[in-house]
Structure 1
Amino acid sequence: MTAPTTPPGPVPRPVALDLGGRTALVTGAAGGIGRACTLRLAAAGAKVRAMDRDTAGLDTLSADAAGLPGSVEPFPLDLTDLDAAERAAAGTDIVVNNAGLQLVRSIEEFPPEVFHTVLTVMLEAPFRLIRGALPHMYGQGWGRIVNLSSVHGLRASAYKSAYVAAKHGLEGLSKTAALEGAPHGVTSNCVCPGYVRTPLVEKQIADQAAAHGITEDRVLTEVLLKDSALKRLIEPDEVAEAVAYLCTPQAGFVTGTSLVLDGGWTAH
């Protein structure tokens, strides 16, 4: 499939951040937003547990991280193994819940087993990862939880019942974690991008084209970016900058909120 035809956005110049001595965990780390977040946190000095079931992608990521101030530790794991996910989060200072999957189908045609898997990976696994990380965070009086939500965590779209349900649930989980974590120096926030230039979105364009019976270019302009004031996809590095900021000591008073990067979509 060809890449979306909108021109790429500007590459943000990284702001100087210091996460030296911190251990972070990023899920869905082998590609897209997760890859960008992993490299950004490692560039800020963090030791990053890069979690994904794509072992080849993790190997490439680890090689690309060579020479950064921090480090990347490949951590192959399928998040449907919830017990293993919770154990893997132990001892982390930062948790970035990013892993996701998407299927575009009407509710009456949506396979129940896929709905279950989406909710497991995108809502139950973040709960277990947070649960596994909190004892260490509470013990040291500091922690950062960043949940990659979506504009679909704030509003719905047709044909995306599982994804929208998971993201709405993640928003609620994040706010609850913020309230419970506040007395312990732990913040919890969501980052809500619009459509990001990732393989997941490229596949979604193809699925939407089939669902609507139109070309992929028309899906991009008439469906995905229809309500966006900025008529382009957001780049993974732009999302990673927002995530990195929320992980810093400077963001210590930012909690229980959703940082929206939607190009003006929800301004309507």
Structure 2
Amino acid sequence: MLAGKTALITGSTSGIGLASAHVLAEQGINLVLHGLMDNDEGARLAQEFSDKYQIKTLFDNANLMDSNAISAFMKRAIQTMGSIDILINNAGIQHTEAVDTFPEDKWHAIMAINLTAAFHTIQHSLAGMKENSWGRIINIASVHGLVASKNKAAYCAAKHGLVGLTKVVALECAEHGITANAICPGWVDTPLINEQITDIANKENSSFEQAKYQLITAKQPLPEMMDPRQIGEFILFLCSDSARSITGSSLPMDGAWTAQ
């Protein structure tokens, strides 16, 4: 059912996005890859996927803070691939600091990349999905789209907003064969949190692994980080026909973080 469809994944050159790209490619799903690489490096990555999985691929390094760049990116992807059937808004950045000293430029950057970019990519994808009476929109939110943590004002605000956007899109698209869901991971073993772990290690004069354990268990009962591939496999399920009635949901993968 999914072989031959096209998935666009923002932030897919590392972490959750890259792992998810491999999971989808294994099923014969064509890919639009995106991330912080120059065009030559990105083209090589796309070619590696194409050669390994025998799928059609495209790479773009559009600046997600620029709505015009997103528009050009989406138009290029649709013209090249024919349609975007599966949209995965995964790109995200982080900055941790108290509200009263939180830098304005960091606030705007986090809002632009973690929330506003998803609005633009969804808007550009919907016409084709409606025409095909099929689409899957999966927004990688966070446990911080459901609960808050100190020093994460912009990240929590953006991820809460992404959950709300997901619900509205689900309501508006329910009659068109399009589902929209938000996955809300807890701790995932990606480069995004290495800075937080390093800060703890330096403050506590502990090893990186000790700091990592301390960071996880301060919030999450399950004392381990999730492998990014697990999220890719959940994405694959949400794309399946078995999940066609799951829409408008905020789905935690958080080691019982929000069960407390």
Q: How does the TM-score come out when normalised to structure 2?
A: 0.89
In the other structure, the counterpart of 2:153 is 161
In the other structure, the counterpart of 2:5 is 22
The amino acid across from 1:228 in the alignment is: Q
In the other structure, the counterpart of 1:252 is 244
In the other structure, the counterpart of 2:66 is 81
Pick from 28, 50, 63: which aligns with 2:33? Answer: 50
The amino acid across from 1:73 in the alignment is: L
Distance across 2 between alignment mates of 1:209 and 1:105? 17
The amino acid across from 1:61 in the alignment is: L
The amino acid across from 2:241 in the alignment is: P
Q: How far does residue 208 in structure 1 lie from its aligned partner after superposition?
A: 4.8
Distance across 1 between alignment mates of 2:91 and 2:225? 19
In proportion to residue count, which structure has more helix?
Answer: 2
Deviates more, 1:256-265 or 1:79-88: 79-88
SS at structure 2 position matched to 1:256: coil
Pick from 186, 190, 197: which aligns with 2:189? Answer: 197
Alignment of 1:115-134 (within 5 A): 115-134=107-126
Alignment of 1:28-47 (within 5 A): 28-47=11-30
Distance across 1 between alignment mates of 2:161 and 2:205? 31
1:44–1:70 contact (8 Å) kept in structure 2: no
SS at structure 2 position matched to 1:41: helix
Distance 1:64 1:232, change over 3 A: farther
| Residues 1:62 and 2:54 are matched in the alignment | no
Q: How far does residue 69 in structure 1 lie from its aligned partner after superposition?
A: 4.4
Q: How far does residue 228 in structure 1 lie from its aligned partner after superposition?
A: 1.9
2:111–2:154 contact (8 Å) kept in structure 1: yes
| Residues 1:135 and 2:127 are matched in the alignment | yes
Distance 1:58 1:204, change over 3 A: farther
Distance across 1 between alignment mates of 2:12 and 2:53? 16
In the other structure, the counterpart of 1:183 is 175
Deviates more, 1:183-192 or 1:198-207: 198-207
In the other structure, the counterpart of 1:152 is 144
In the other structure, the counterpart of 1:233 is 225
Distance across 2 between alignment mates of 1:22 and 1:150? 26
| Total equivalences in the alignment | 250
Distance 1:69 1:252, change over 3 A: farther
Q: How far does residue 67 in structure 1 lie from its aligned partner after superposition?
A: 2.0
Distance 1:51 1:28, change over 3 A: same
In the other structure, the counterpart of 1:14 is none
Q: How far does residue 156 in structure 1 lie from its aligned partner after superposition?
A: 0.5
Distance across 2 between alignment mates of 1:235 and 1:46? 21
Distance 1:209 1:166, change over 3 A: farther
1:104–1:208 contact (8 Å) kept in structure 2: no
The amino acid across from 2:155 in the alignment is: Y
Gapped regions of structure 2 (runs ≥ 5)? none
What do residues 148-175 of structure 1 show as CA deviations (whole Å, max 9, x unaligned)?
0111111011011111111000000001
In the other structure, the counterpart of 1:10 is none
SS at structure 2 position matched to 1:67: helix
| Residues 1:174 and 2:174 are matched in the alignment | no
In the other structure, the counterpart of 2:214 is 222
Distance across 1 between alignment mates of 2:98 and 2:211? 17
Q: How far does residue 214 in structure 1 lie from its aligned partner after superposition?
A: 5.7
SS at structure 2 position matched to 1:179: helix
What do residues 209-236 of structure 1 show as CA deviations (whole Å, max 9, x unaligned)?
56x6564445423333223222101001
2:26–2:53 contact (8 Å) kept in structure 1: yes
2:197–2:215 contact (8 Å) kept in structure 1: no
